[in-house]
Amino acid sequence: MYTVLLVDDEEEVIQVIMRKINWEELGFSVIGSAGNGVKALELMEEFQPDVLVTDIKMPYMDGMELAHRVKTEFPATKILLFTGFDEFEYAKEAIHLEVEEYILKPMNSAELKSVFSRLKIKLDQEISEKRSVETLEKYYLESLPLLRADFYSGLIEGRVHEDEISRYLSECQLSFPGPFFSCLVIHTSSSQEAGPIDPQLLAASVREHAKERLGKKWQAKSFAYLGNTVLILQLGDENEVWELTDECDRFCRYARRMLGAVVTVGIGQICGNILDLPRSYSSAREAVSYRAVYGASRAINIREIVPQKMDRSVSSNESELSDLFRMIRVGSEEEITEAVNRYFLHTSFTDKSLQQQYMDRMELLSMLLRFSANNGITMGENTEDMGRLYGSLLDTEPDALKNWLLKVSLSFREQLIRVRSSSTESLVSRAMEYVQNHYADEKLSLDDICASLGVSNSYFSTVFKKETGSSFVGYLTDYRLDRAARLLIETNEKSYMIASQVGYSDPNYFSYVFKKRFGTSPSKYRTEHAESEK
C-alpha cells in the first residue's frame, strides 16, 4: 500500500475525494489530511507519504510553496496538484516542479481513478528497479577500482604516511581539498528480511544510494570495509556536521522505506588533516555500536553522545581492552563479563615475566583512570582499591584482579547510564528555557534551537520526544497558546496584538490554531472566562 496525504482548506473537498475512490483497490491508503500547507509539512515530517495531493489556493501556505518545500525536503514524494483556477502560470510552475499531475476542479471519480492507476504503475516500476536483483548485482559489480579502495582503507587504518599522500592522489586521480574531513560508517543489518535479496547485494545497493544522496554535496569517497560501507566526507566548515547528521538520518529512513534495509549511520569526529582519518573512522565505528542504546535505522553522531575529551589511544586500539570499554558504553552486564574474561584470557598474566606483568597492570589502571576522566565518571569507592593496587601490583592474584576489574566495569556502566540520562534532561531543560525567552519571535524554528544547543535536528527531536512525549513544534505551539490564553484573561489587549506577542504574525492563523487547541475563538475564550470570574 502506498500512502497518500490530502491537503485542501475545504474539508468537504477532502471528504468527496476520499469517498470517490476505492483507495485500497487501487493500492493506496490515506494516512491523513490537512487544511493548509503549514499543517501539511508537519504531517510530511511525521509520515513521509508516497503521494501528496494538494490544492493550490490555501491560507498561510499555498500549494505551490508547499510543493517547493516537499520537492526539496522529501524528493521521493510524488505530488498531484488540483485547483479551480485554470491559469497557465500555475501549470508552467507545476511542470517546472516535476509535478505528476495538474488536475482542474471539479474532479470526477473516473479521472481520479485513472490518475492514481497510472501513478501506481509508476511507483511500482521505481521500487522494482531499486529492488531488482539485477540492479543490485550491477551496483555490486561496479564497485570502486581496487587501487582507490586500497588507498581509502590505508587512510583509515593509518598505513598512509604524509610523504606518500601526493603520490597516492596522483596515481588514483583523486583530490581531497577539505578543509575538514569526517568518516561515516554505514551499517546495513544482515538480520533484516529483504525477500530473496542477498545481504551483500543489499549492502551494495545501500552504498550506491548513499553515494547518490550524500556524495555530491560532501564530495564523498565510498568503499566497502569490514562488512560496512565507509564514506570519507569533505566539509567546508566544522558546523556542517549538524546538517550532515540530519541528512544521514533522512537517508536511514529512505533506505528503510525504499530498499527494505535497516541502516545505521555512525558519524565520526571532524578532523583537519586526512592523516587523522583513523581517529575519525574509529569514532564513527564506535557511534554505530551505540545503536544498541539509541536504536537502529538512524544516524548517530559521536560528538552528540560521547564527551568531547575522547580517549584517542583507546578509540584507535582494537585490543580486548578496547572491546571492554566499548561494552561498558553500550553492552549488557553479561557482555561486560565476557569482555573481562576475554581480556584476561588474552593478557595471560601468569605466562609473563614479572616486569611484563607489572607493565600490563600499570597500563590497565592508567587506561581505566583515563576512561573515567574522559567520560565524566569517577572511580568512586574503587579509588582506595586503586591506590592499594598501585602499591602491590605484583602481589594481587589474577582472579582477585579480574573480580576487581569486573566490579569497576559494572560501576562505570551504571554511571554512564546516569550521565547519559542527565545529559538528555539538561538538553531538554535548556530547550524549554530557550522557548521561554524566544517564543515571541515568529521566526523561531527547530533549526534555531538546534543551532543554539549545538546538536543536530534529528538527535534533538528524538531526545525531546522521548523526554516530553511531544514534538518540539507541538511544545512550542502549546506554550505560545498557553501564554496567549493568559494574556486574553489578564489584559485588555486586542487579539491581533496578543497574536503578535506570542509569535504569530497572521491573526487569522492565530485564531485558527487557538480554536483548534481550546475549541473556541480567542474572543469567546476571553468572554467565557471573564464571566466565570464574575
Q: What is the pLDDT of residues 130-174, one digit of tens each?
A: 777 666 666 654 555 788 888 999 999 999 888 899 988 888 888
Number of C-beta neighbours around residue 423 at 10 A: 15
CATH architecture of 2-131: 3-Layer(aba) Sandwich (3.40)
Please name the fold of domain 439-534. Arc Repressor Mutant, subunit A (1.10.10)
Q: In DSSP terms, which residues pair with 7 in a beta bridge?
A: 34, 54
CATH of segment(s) 145-306 = 3.30.70.270
Per-residue pLDDT tens for 217-268?
899 998 999 889 999 999 999 889 999 999 999 999 999 988 889 999 999 9
Distance of CA 51 to the CA centre of its chain: 23
Q: What is the mean pLDDT of residues 165-185?
A: 90
Cis preceding-peptide flag for 59 (omega within 30 of 0): no
Q: What is the mean pLDDT of residues 438-458?
A: 91
Do the strands 221-225 and 228-235 form a parallel or antiparallel pair, or are they unpaired? antiparallel
Q: In DSSP terms, which residues pair with 79 in a beta bridge?
A: 52
E-assigned strand segments in 112-235:
180-188, 221-225, 228-235
Do the strands 28-34 and 2-7 form a parallel or antiparallel pair, or are they unpaired? parallel
Evaluate whether 47 touches 32 at the Cβ level (below 8 Å): yes
Nearest to 9, CA basis, from 46, 61, 48 = 61
Q: Find the helix packing angle between 354-374 and 382-391, rounded to 10°.
A: 150
Nearest to 290, CA basis, from 311, 309, 314, 264 = 264
* Average pLDDT, rounded, for the chain: 84
CA distances for 403 relative to 15, 397, 400, 410, 531, angstroms: 68, 10, 5, 11, 72
So what's the pLDDT on residue 532?
60
**Conformational region of residue 512, where left means phi above 0, alpha means psi within -120 to 50, and beta covers everything else:** alpha
pTM for this structure? 0.54
So what's the pLDDT on residue 185?
96
- Our CA dihedral for 98, 9, 26, 49, rounded to 10 degrees, sits at 60
